[in-house]
């Protein structure tokens, strides 16, 4: 059983996603908006993290792990996509470009974009819970005998997506007056806004195959730091990259009066601190190297995140 690279995973995931989308009842223009919003060139990092978490601890007798976490991986991507659709709305960030294409509200209107996000969030719960009685998933006896693990994995994703996770972080981010915010306030906001969904993805995969509490604890530390790196690199790219490379508007943080990591420590120190967060993430994986199957992939993902250009 070989660990898939992110490219290999993405090819398989896109097929699963297309099959799911083709099963949706046509409801014009909502279905078109739904498909437009999720088929827009996403990197699929969060679905891949579900797979990484599952592969790390999966029973060696359960081949083709990706087949048994496909509902979780589609669910997390739907939640991520809905959050972007709503983030781009005029009442929030009012962005007009996402991954090089017009944002959903620009193409379909603010009302339809709102409904699209609502539909995606609901669909995420539906598909993740559908795995409980999915005959194909039950072909693996380990999965069949541990149906409750799917419920626990789904619950973990939903907990990290809502008011105690991503939505809570977005609430903090939406406040107009951030003049009293400290560095710790910024970190708390992004642990919720960005890290929570990344953590939800990774831990859900591990919970699906009933990882130990020791493994879960260290994977959570890894995910928290991965999320902080992701956000700080976003802050850096917003002031150093170009619209053509990023596929979205640059200097948007300044335009929307948002506080970034750079505002607290400067550009160069931000880069240095990213390396420190990377070290903390890697240290967490070192703690569980003997307990998981794919530690080298976790290390590489951190390095790739540090060096990403978009």
Q: What is the pLDDT of residues 50-85, one digit of tens each?
A: 999 999 998 776 778 898 899 999 999 999 999 999
* % residues pLDDT > 90 (the chain): 70
The pLDDT assigned to 26 comes to 93
Handedness of CA 145, 148, 151, 156 (dihedral sign): negative
To the nearest 10 degrees (0 to 180), the angle between helices 196-208 and 166-174 is: 180
pLDDT per position as a tens digit, 3-58:
889 999 999 999 999 999 999 999 999 999 999 999 988 899 999 999 999 999 98
- Per-residue pLDDT for 305 more than 70? yes
Token readout for 307 is 């060096």
Give 4-52 as a 3 state SS string. Answer: CCHHHHHHHHHHHHHHHHHCCCCCCCHHHHHHHHHCCCCCCHHHHHHHH
Confidence of residue 250 (pLDDT cuts 50, 70, 90): low
| φ, ψ (nearest 5 deg) of residue 285 | -70, -35
20: phi > 0 → left, psi -120 to 50 → alpha, else beta; which? Answer: alpha
The pLDDT assigned to 238 comes to 87
**CB 117, CB 82: distance < 8 Å:** yes
Mean pLDDT in residue range 191-201? 96
Mean pLDDT in residue range 78-95? 95
Mean pLDDT in residue range 224-238? 94
Q: Where are the alpha helices (DSSP H) in the chain?
A: 6-22, 30-38, 45-57, 70-87, 104-108, 110-130, 141-144, 147-161, 166-174, 183-190, 196-208, 213-240, 243-246, 252-255, 261-265, 267-287, 295-306
The pLDDT assigned to 249 comes to 59
- What letter does residue 93 receive in the DSSP assignment? T
Mean pLDDT in residue range 151-155? 96
The pLDDT assigned to 181 comes to 84
Query: By mean pLDDT, which of 42-51, 87-96, 239-248 is the weakest?
Result: 239-248
Q: Is the peptide bond before 29 cis (omega within 30 degrees of 0)?
A: yes
Mean pLDDT in residue range 292-305? 94
The pLDDT assigned to 100 comes to 84
- Per-residue pLDDT for 89 more than 60? yes
The pLDDT assigned to 67 comes to 87
- Per-residue pLDDT for 244 more than 70? no
> Higher pLDDT residue, 185 or 2?
185
- Per-residue pLDDT for 251 more than 60? no
- Per-residue pLDDT for 243 more than 80? no
- Per-residue pLDDT for 252 more than 80? no
């Amino acid at each position: 059983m070989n660990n898939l690279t992110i490219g290999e995973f993405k090819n398989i995931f896109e097929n699963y996603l297309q099959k799911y989308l083709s099963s949706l009842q046509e409801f014009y223009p909502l279905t078109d908006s739904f498909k437009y919003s999720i088929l827009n060139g996403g990197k699929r990092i969060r679905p891949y993290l579900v797979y990484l978490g599952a592969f790390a601890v999966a029973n060696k007798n359960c081949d083709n792990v990706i087949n048994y976490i496909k509902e979780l991986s589609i669910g997390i991507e739907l939640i991520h996509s809905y959050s972007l659709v709503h983030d781009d709305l005029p009442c929030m960030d009012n962005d007009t470009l996402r991954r090089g294409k017009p944002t959903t509200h620009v193409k379909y209107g603010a009302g339809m974009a709102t409904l699209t996000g609502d539909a995606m969030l609901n669909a995420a719960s539906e598909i993740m819970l559908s795995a409980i009685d999915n005959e194909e998933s039950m072909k693996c006896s380990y999965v069949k005998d541990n149906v409750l693990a799917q419920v626990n994995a789904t619950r973990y994703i939903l907990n990290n997506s809502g008011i105690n996770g991503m939505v809570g972080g977005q609430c903090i981010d939406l406040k107009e007056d951030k003049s009293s915010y400290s560095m710790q306030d910024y970190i708390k906001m992004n642990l919720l806004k960005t890290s929570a969904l990344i953590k939800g993805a990774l831990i859900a995969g591990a919970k699906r195959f009933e990882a130990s509490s020791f493994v879960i604890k260290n994977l959570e530390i890894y995910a928290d730091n991965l999320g902080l790196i992701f956000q700080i690199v976003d802050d850096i790219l917003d002031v150093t990259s170009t619209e053509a490379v990023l596929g979205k508007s640059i200097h948007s943080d300044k335009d929307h009066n948002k506080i970034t990591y750079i505002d607290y420590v400067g550009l160069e120190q931000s880069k240095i601190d990213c390396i420190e967060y990377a070290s903390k993430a890697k240290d967490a994986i070192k703690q569980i190297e003997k307990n998981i199957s794919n530690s080298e992939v976790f290390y590489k993902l951190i390095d790739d995140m540090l060096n990403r250009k978009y």
